[in-house]
Amino acid sequence: MTALGPPLGLIVELTHRCPLQCAYCSNPLAMDAPKSELSTEQWLRVLDEAAAIGILQVHFSGGEPMARRDLRELIAHASNAGLYTNIITSGVLLSRSAMADLLAAGIDHVQLSFQDARSEEADHFSGYRGSHAKKLEAARRIRDAGLPLTANFVIHRQNIERIEEMIALGVALSAERIEIAHTQYYGWALLNRNALLPSRAQLEQVNQVVAAAQERLRGRVVIDYVVPDYYAARPKACMGGWGNRFINISPSGKALPCHAAETLPGFTFPSVRDHGLGAIWASSDAFTRFRGTDWMPAPCRGCDQREIDWGGCRCQALALAGDAARTDPACHRSADHHIMREAIDAAVDAPLALVPRRLQQG
């Protein structure tokens, strides 16, 4: 491997608070309590450290990052430190004055999430009446402000049939980028997997619709789409590799190689309250244990894809195969690959009832 460079990006999960209750949320089941969140001063120090070690981008996330009253101050501080700033938001709190605050703070990019293309269905999946209308208004405010907009549609078995309408909505909102994101089965989404996992026929339909739209809209709108793990032959390079590209900070200040890492047993994740970001990145056990390829078991060891997908996702290996150090079951070469087929079979004809995300604090 080449010498370790700085992380590309810092993902700051400012809070787990959120007005929505999406059943596909990848936040942990036991969320950080509001009183455990880092203070403004602590976040400001983390942002300074990020710039000092050469991080280029900061993604303000959550929960709903706009639930933090100090968001404007944090974004302005990051921007003044030379960081590219992106906010990942549901948009329901993006009032006119909140938009003015984001602009004054120097926000560079907004990623806005949608639950569906239609109001009634979107409000049902978000558990928030009127949320879709607020999102449409938020999208208009973002574009009127001249900011680049990414429209993110999370798809699953219960909304996937409206994929054409979702792409049309993204185009109508003048999004520069449309993300069609299959649900990632972590946290609440894993709990609800049987009610969310699409069928093979649904997947084939969406693959065709997206490919046609990418062709039709080439040069006008970028459409990002990745085949979901459960139907893939090879896993995704989760987070671009463990400890390879990103540091994720939880609301209470734990530095994590990914948003779901707290599910992994046998780890003590360092807190930014006690440790500097540079040391966490370079030498903490949490970031070095699965970094690179030395940790890999067969069949990853010796595989020609090992520096492309980095063996897939550690959290998925734990959740599905019971061991974070195994090859991701999404890989067709994994001895555990049958688990994916069994999950698909188990979802056929499963009830559609969803457990909504709720803040039950850990």
Options 85, 131, 316, 327; binder of ligand SF4; rule CB under 6 A: 327
* Residue 302 C-beta: closest distance to ligand SF4, Å: 9
Amino acid at 286: A
Options 216, 333, 338, 341; binder of ligand SF4; rule CB under 6 A: 333
315 labelled as ligand-binding? no
* Residue 15 C-beta: closest distance to ligand SF4, Å: 34
| Pair of tokens at residue 361 | 């604090």
Options 305, 344, 356, 359; binder of ligand SF4; rule CB under 6 A: 305
Q: What are phi and psi of 313, to 5 degrees?
A: -110, 125
C-beta closer to ligand SF4: residue 240 or 356: 240
Three-class SS state of 63? coil
DSSP structural state of residue 35? G
Could you give the count of Cα atoms lying within 13 Å of 219 in the half-sphere of its Cβ?
1
Partner touching 157 among ligand SF4, ligand FES, none, CB below 5 to 8 Å by kind = none
* Residue 113 C-beta: closest distance to ligand FES, Å: 18
* Residue 327 C-beta: closest distance to ligand FES, Å: 13
Binding segment for ligand SF4 (CB under 6 A), chosen from 22-30, 98-106, 127-135, 324-332, is: 324-332
Options 234, 314, 326, 357; binder of ligand FES; rule CB under 6 A: 314
> 1 CB contacts (<8 Å, ≥6 apart)?
292, 293, 307
Paired with 64 in beta bridges are none
22 labelled as ligand-binding? yes
CB 58 within 8 A of CB 50: yes
> 310 CB contacts (<8 Å, ≥6 apart)?
237, 238, 240, 241, 242, 244, 293
Rule CB under 6 A: is residue 312 a binding residue for ligand SF4?
yes
Rule CB under 6 A: is residue 261 a binding residue for ligand FES?
yes
DSSP structural state of residue 254? B
Rule CB under 6 A: is residue 258 a binding residue for ligand FES?
yes
105: left (phi over 0), alpha (psi -120 to 50) or beta: alpha
303 labelled as ligand-binding? no
> 207 CB contacts (<8 Å, ≥6 apart)?
227
| Pair of tokens at residue 131 | 């949320």
Exposed e or buried b per residue across 87-124, where buried means at least 16 C-beta atoms within 10 angstroms of its C-beta: bbbbbbbbeeebbebbbebebbbbbbbbbbbebebbbb
Partner touching 314 among ligand FES, ligand SF4, none, CB below 5 to 8 Å by kind = ligand FES
Rule CB under 6 A: is residue 326 a binding residue for ligand FES?
no
CA 138 to each of CA 36, 102, 179, 223, 229: distance values in angstroms, whole numbers, following the listed order: 29, 12, 17, 20, 31
Rule CB under 6 A: is residue 260 a binding residue for ligand FES?
yes
Helices assigned H by DSSP within 192-313: 193-196, 200-216, 277-283, 285-288
Partner touching 28 among ligand FES, ligand SF4, none, CB below 5 to 8 Å by kind = none
Partner touching 110 among ligand SF4, ligand FES, none, CB below 5 to 8 Å by kind = none
Options 72, 234, 254, 314; binder of ligand SF4; rule CB under 6 A: 234
* Residue 281 C-beta: closest distance to ligand FES, Å: 16
Give the footprint of ligand FES on residues 113-132 (CB under 6 A). none
Three-class SS state of 193? helix
C-beta closer to ligand FES: residue 157 or 314: 314
* Residue 296 C-beta: closest distance to ligand SF4, Å: 7
Binding residues for ligand SF4, per CB under 6 A?
Answer: 234-235, 299-300, 303, 305-306, 309, 311-312, 327-328, 331, 333
Q: Which residues bind ligand FES (CB under 6 A)?
A: 186, 238-239, 242, 258, 260-261, 313-316
Q: Binding site residues for [4Fe-4S] cluster, as ranges?
A: 18, 22, 25
